[in-house]
Structure 1
Amino acid sequence: MKFTVVGGVYKENCAWPAHDTIQGSAGRAALCLSQLDKAVTVSLHAKIAQSDESDLKELFAFNKNCSLNIEHSDCTTRFEYFHPLSEPKVSKPKQTGNLPVFSPVSGTVDVGVVFGMIEANPVVSCGTAIYDPQNTYKPLLFSEMGCSAKRLAYVTNKNELKLFYENKVGDAESIEVMAKWLYEFENAEVVVVKCGDQGAFVYSSDFQEWVLPYQTRSVFPIGSGDSFVAAFAYYWVEKGLSAVVAAQKASVAAAYYVSHKTMSTADGIEIFEKELSFIHRKPRSSHVYLAGPFFTLAELWMINEAKFHIESFGMKVFSPYHDIGIGTADQVVEKDIFRSTHVDKAIASDLPTTKMFE
């Protein structure tokens, strides 16, 4: 079977831990698909600067089942991360007005894996399409881009789904309600909503189920969603599995990717799955005691970053710097001990506690 992947290929640089590559959503999905099964054929269509084409070819040098179809642009969009959870700085081609149309394939492709792009508006006609909006701030519906498909699967995240719903309907509701709306509004065959540590919700005419996430020893999150999309497309289309089972297999594949920063074969994913355990969804959040120095700009930055991202995972944070403040030992130590002890006692009879120390 042939997969046609259309979307962004971008430079990615992370300061710590070091990560420097040219992949982006479409590039990574094409690479993952070609690694999952050497028997499938993958065709990647993207826009990058001519000067970066050799680096992209080098990335795919050992993946002979993937062909690169590149349209040259003035520059390649670049994502700069300080750390994997930080908001990236994005450098992209200067544009005015609407995004230019990117229609790299004439006619209808059998299976299209389509990603929203920063620098262009991809337009593709597909027999079967798997679509990921890939836009945190202003995602476009598949139909809004001018794309078409006889069979359509959405793989989106909860933030994009919320923006779609608020733009078309009104105040956000539950994931289940909004997924049902998107399914009906876009005449999709299935909608998969990625919800981080909550797992993924799958909505179709036959299934409305949550797929639990897996626990891994390490997580490198850059590209995790792209690997999920690639694996879901493979298991849903190539293997003919139900959307729920395909999403579960994609969760395993994404767990492998965030652990190894690369994809395995489908056989390797099966073996890896036996080593994993589910993260069961908890109705209430855990508490974290965040301790560390906060006497220099670098230390303050670290504490602020840690608090922000831990809270973004749905946890409650007690931070001496934020909750007690800066002062002499006489002014803050007794308050710190009282507050932390009070929090610990409350948690001991209610919720699990995680303490993080510098």
Structure 2
Amino acid sequence: MENNSNAIAEIQKKYAGCNLLMPAATEVQLNPFYKITVMEVTADLSENSGDIFKVGSVKTGTTQQGKDIWEETYSPAKPLLMKIAAAAGIQFDPDHTYGTKIDANTYKAKAYGAMRMPDGTGKTHADEKVICLDDEEANYRVEFMDKSIKGITDEKAAKAAAEMFKGNWIDAKNKWGKACKAYVIDDCDREKYIERSVLVNMTLLRKTAAAKAMTGAILRVIRALTGMKGQYTKKELQKPFAIPRVTFSPDYTDPEVRKAMLSQGMNSIGSLFGATPTIAAIPDTLTGGEIDEFNPEEFADNPAFASEQTEDSDVVDEEQEQNWFDREQPTAPQQDVRPQQEEYACENCGSVISEKVYGYSIDKFGRPLCVKCQRGAH
């Protein structure tokens, strides 16, 4: 089978000056009809990439002295999850992916996604995300209180806070475990720092709460459909995420495939218009056991089958027909089609009487009489 590979190394070498947005793929033809495509997505592990964020640490072993060994763990963020969803071919149903506002401070979003598994079957999952502004405000308050006491480790945030609030610099470690300078807020400005920080973040959250809830629901569906873990070590994230997919892709260069496709096409036409009926041959028993294989071309010059018709016979027949129609046809005498009037006669003398006299005589005397006989009947 032909193996068409555009692995990560080859793509990075060919497109070294480009920002690659699509995942790399490796295609292998499993058989003449199906191929498997493996999509590869690599996570950017740099601090400011946004692909991952630190969630904690896990115990990975112990030293010879009996001390525990801890390793930091990270979770895939939205940019990485969306790249994985594109590689896996996850589709979201717009009719069942929506957000609603429960009350003034609560938003709920639902997402319904589906993807095709390597065996060709479909897999679906639905999830939801609820954001309560009251709970988020409490979380912000705790977060900035911890920062004001333990120190602000982010360099830009610490310098900005030092310009606005009183405090002092201390040696500390940032969230990546690196040594840095942290700024601790004095007690006199601590409450002001917390309130202003909460106000700024809550103002932004109130504008984006609905979108944030929808994003959270979608990311949960992606994690569930792909079976991703909640957290990974950096060593695990150095490996690319591979998503296999099986698709119907006939190899038209294979003669067997072309033959099968042609047969299928002919069968589909037969299914549409119906198969042509086969005319059975007449058995010899019905024809007396002999079949007359008379060929008329062999007897074309035989005088026994000569006809008296000439080549101009058709023309003669047409002239005769035309002359017959042109001749004047005798006109039949017209007959009087007027209805005949019934005649009435007098019972005594036999003279003809009119219809009115007949009717009057029947009513008066009970028999047909002429006017003269009616006078004598009085």
Normalising to structure 2: TM-score of the pair?
A: 0.21
**Bigger Rg, which one:** 2
Normalising to structure 1: TM-score of the pair?
A: 0.22
Q: Per chain length, whose mean CA-contact separation is higher, i.e. which structure has more relative contact order (CA < 8 Å, sep 6+)?
A: 2
